[in-house]
Amino acid sequence: MSERTLAIIKPDAVNKHVIGDIVSRYEKAGLKPVAMRLMQMGKPVAEGFYAVHKARPFFDSLCTFMSSGPSVVLVLQGENAIKKNRELMGATDPAKAEKGTIRAAHGTNIEYNAVHGSDSPETAKFEITYFFPGMDIIG
Ligand code: ADP
Ligand code: MG
């Protein structure tokens, strides 16, 4: 089933000049960018995006990091896009991410881990609407 997911190339990865490498990995895996923004999100925007993690000890640090510089926010479309992107990304902690994944290649630590990807159809819907209001969800 063709579906959409939200991906973010986080500020650490933008700083490392690997936007092109990461977008290329999406394209080679059959995940087609159908919307894309280069933006520096304000801290309240990061806080709204990560609201599900509000109670976690790393929440404030995470939102400071996510608003510390530009990110690339994308909508990716393809067969099983949500699961496929999570596989491409690798585990949250780059030290535990499988070889060949984006986080293994470009992540620094469990917080500065290069990319975000929606984890379910419900979060994909919320996240796509959050950054691309008015975009219809398919699948
Ligand atoms: P994922 O991005 O793999 O879905 P989570 O949703 O659990 O992971 O966490 C969201 C983001 O919060 C992670 O990508 C990472 O940047 C940060 N994070 C997660 N766990 C920790 C932690 N233990 N310490 C610091 N930052 C964390
Ligand atoms: Mg998550």
For residues 113-120, give the mean pLDDT: 98
Nearest residue CA, atom 7 of ligand 1? 92
pLDDT of residue 139: 63
For residues 74-94, give the mean pLDDT: 98
Nearest residue CA, atom 26 of ligand 1? 111
pLDDT of residue 138: 73
The position carrying tokens 């925007």 is 45
- 110 in contact with ligand 1, CB cutoff 6 A: yes
- pTM for this model (two decimals): 0.98
- Tell me, yes or no, if 106 is annotated catalytic: no
Pairing of strands 115-117, 71-79: unpaired
What's the alpha-carbon Rg for the chain, to the nearest Å? 14
Q: Which residues contact 62 (CB under 8 A, 6 or more apart)?
A: 46, 50, 53, 56, 111
For residues 16-28, give the mean pLDDT: 98
For residues 97-126, give the mean pLDDT: 98
137, pLDDT greater than 90: no
For residues 77-92, give the mean pLDDT: 98
**Sheet strands (E) in the chain:** 2-9, 32-39, 71-79, 115-117
